[in-house]
């Protein structure tokens, strides 16, 4: 993970714009002690923009974080979310 000191001015501006466009995601990521991976951020941004997502990634890679964000967003905005997972994964 790069720090803001490692980013160019244009990269810092792009990061600033992303945070402004996705305020719920910004607050959600602050709840974690680790940075989210790119696929997690992409999925969460899509959800905050009102799109549905299907996350296909290896076991243990952190797919659940995207589902947790959907629940967080629904609770923060008074909306609904549907989070599905294979039954086998729950056993």
Supply the CATH number for residue 50's domain: 3.40.50.300
Q: What is the pLDDT of residues 41-89, one digit of tens each?
A: 999 999 999 998 999 989 889 999 999 999 999 999 998 888 887 777 5
Residue with tokens 């490692």: 6
Report how far residue 52's alpha carbon sits from residue 43's, in angstroms, rounded to the nearest whole number: 9
Cα distances (angstroms) measured from residue 15 to each of 7, 12, 19, 23, 67 = 9, 5, 6, 12, 23
The tokens describing 71, both together, are: 């629940």
Task: Place 3 in a pLDDT band, splitting at 50, 70 and 90.
Answer: low
Rounded Cα–Cα distance for residues 28 and 75 (Å)? 12
Number of domains in the chain: 1
pLDDT (0 to 100) of residue 89: 58
Higher pLDDT, 4 or 74: 74
pLDDT of residue 76: 92
pLDDT of residue 74: 95
Q: Are 36 and 44 in contact (CB under 8 A)?
A: yes
Dist. CA 80–CA 19, nearest whole Å:
23
Residue numbers of the domain that contains 27: 4-90
Arithmetic mean of pLDDT, 20-31: 88
pLDDT at residue 83, as a whole number: 81
- Dihedral sign for Cα atoms in the order 49, 54, 57, 63: positive
**Given this model, what pLDDT does residue 41 score?**
94
């Amino acid at each position: 993970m790069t720090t803001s000191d490692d980013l160019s001015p244009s990269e810092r501006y792009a990061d600033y714009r992303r945070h402004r466009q996705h305020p719920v995601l910004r607050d959600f990521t602050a709840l974690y002690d680790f940075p989210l991976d790119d696929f997690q951020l992409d999925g969460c941004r899509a959800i905050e923009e009102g799109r549905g997502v299907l996350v296909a990634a290896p076991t243990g890679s952190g797919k659940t974080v995207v589902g947790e964000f959907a629940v967080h967003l629904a609770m923060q905005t008074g909306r609904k979310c549907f989070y599905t997972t294979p039954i086998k994964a729950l056993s």
